[in-house]
Amino acid sequence: MSVYSHTPTPGLNADKEGDDEQEERTEEIAELKKLIDAMPGGTIHDVKSRVPHQTKLGQLEFQFHIFAEKKRLARALSKLEEMYGDLHSEPCLMCLEDIHVHAASSVRKIFICCGGFICEVCVRNMDKSGLGLDKCPLCRESFAASSEAEDDAKVMTLAKRGNSWAQREAGSLMIHGRKGYDKQKLEWLKKAAAQDYPPALFELSAVHRDGLKSLVRKSQEKANKLLLKAANLGYAKANSLLATYHTSGTKGFEENTDEAYFRASVALALDNENGQAAFILGTNHHIEKCSEPSPYLACHYLNIAANENGEGLAFCFYSQTLCKLNEHLYGGQISGHNAMPAAFFWLRKSSERGIKTASRLLKEWETNGQNFCANCGMVAQAGEKFKQCSKCKAQWYCSKECQVEAWREGHKKDCKRATILKFQDYLSAE
């Protein structure tokens, strides 16, 4: 569950309602599978008659897996709190809902005029209402354009009052090269870290890992100690970075698949837009390295990683997993429910980002695709070139007639669906 969701922490009644709903969904899935298995499948007509039921099954199974995964992520977060104590939370100053305000920058919006914050849900609600944010909703100061120097002065005023967020911001000016490097800015970062402000601990960890001019010597031991502290205090980025280190066994952390999976799960429980953690969980499902691999969760997480981080390998894995899911649902590629146009779309994105595996696979797919007509199955003769779909560039046809027939039979839908960026939208697209 995302920390910026306004869904209350489930109590006994909420848990029971959710479990009842999941039980109903399980029964519906079982009945639908029974129906599909009982249907004939010997002819093209039979295959097509099964498709609507298979599509519905896919949507139900996805909902089932997502519900179960949300509960698993919540358990991972509870385990972290059992081990290291309750995570810091504060009420949104507008709706008064408690949020883990230090978990990620995406969960709240802080105002430099007064140092107050509101949760991201309230920000989105204000945007939807058309009111926008031309004034601070807390102190009513205007958001009229101001200079960088004026904004920096406001941050420094808050920092001097002891605001940990502002102290970290003042220190970050040094880390990211603004206003030069000096000891005073490093001291601001240390002050924020002294208040156990997780983002400051995280940045200070990076400073010790890399060193900083003559101000800080490299120390992997100090860096790791600070990183662990930030992670255990519930900072999503720290947990996802720990997951990466445990996956590869680098930076002084042992290779530990279970710990990597746990830390990535915590990161996503805190921030469901964390692309780094999503890539780790998605990859585990994709290569079936977790206890209960799911093509739905592989697609879900790898799609987040691709969209949030632009991770080239995530594009490649997502492309492959779309094909696996299509095989799971339909037993192959059916016109109107053919994953290849979407798979080609994502694989090309991966290749464009320099992923050699994707470039090799793309060439292989194109070579195979050019050898037969996607509509009638005719095999191309030596030296013969079939006509490529100009829209998706993922299907080839022996003639104009075959291309028109395939378009009418459902390739039009496949082309349209291919470029949908969000997996859930792709899965539910008509």
Domain ranges of the chain: 88-144
pLDDT at 55 (0 to 100): 94
Cα 192 from Cα 166, distance rounded (Å): 8
Supply the Cα-derived Rg of the chain in whole angstroms.
26
Query: What would the pLDDT profile of 106-155 be if each residue is shown by its tens digit?
Result: 999 999 999 999 999 999 898 888 776 788 899 999 888 788 888 888 99
At residue 33, the pLDDT reads 94
H-helix or E-strand containing 217?
none
Low-confidence residues in the chain, pLDDT < 70: 1-18, 132, 173-182
pTM of the model: 0.90
Note whether 423 and 294 are within 8 A (CB): no
Q: What is the CATH number of domain 88-144?
A: 3.30.40
Q: Return the closest-CA partner of residue 298 out of 67, 57, 65, 74.
A: 65
pLDDT at position 409: 93
